Structure 1
Amino acid sequence: MTTENNKLIVQQALGALVATGDVEALAPLLSDGFVHHRPDANDRGKAAWLDAVRAALVPLEGMRVEIKHVLADGDHVVMHSRRGLPGGADIVVVDVWRLDDGLIAEAWEIIEPVAEADAHLSWWEEPAGR
Structure 2
Amino acid sequence: MNETTQAVRNKQLVERTYEEFVNGNIEYLRTVLKEDFIEHSPGNPSGRDAFIEFIAKSPVADARFDLKRVIADEQYAVVHYLMTPPGDERGVAVVDLWRVEDGLIAEHWDVQQPVPGPKDVPHGML
What's the TM-score, normalizing by structure 1? 0.77
Rg (Cα) greater in structure: 1
Q: Distance in 1 between matches of 2:44 and 2:103?
A: 26
* 1:1-21 deviation line (CA, Å, top 9, x unaligned): 7110011011111110102x1
Specify the alignment match of 2:99 in structure 1: 98
Consecutive unaligned residues in structure 2, runs of 5 or more: 121-126
Query: Which one has a larger percent helix, Structure 1 or Structure 2?
Result: 1
Q: Distance in 2 between matches of 1:68 and 1:5?
A: 19
One-letter amino acid matched to 2:94? V
Q: Distance in 2 between matches of 1:76 and 1:36?
A: 14
Q: Give 1:41 shift.
A: 7.8
Specify the alignment match of 2:123 in structure 1: none
Q: Distance in 2 between matches of 1:51 and 1:89?
A: 27
Whether the 8 Å contact between 2:44 and 2:54 is mirrored in structure 1 is no
Map 1:13-24 to 2 at 5 A.
13-19=17-23, 21-24=24-27
Q: Distance in 2 between matches of 1:43 and 1:76?
A: 20
Map 1:1-130 to 2 at 5 A.
2-19=6-23, 21-38=24-41, 40=42, 44-57=46-59, 60-61=61-62, 63-87=63-87, 88-115=89-116
Q: How many residues align?
A: 113
Q: Give 1:115 shift.
A: 3.0
Identity %: 33
Q: Distance in 2 between matches of 1:90 and 1:13?
A: 21
Q: Give 1:60 shift.
A: 5.0
What's the TM-score, normalizing by structure 2? 0.79
Q: Distance in 1 between matches of 2:37 and 2:9?
A: 19
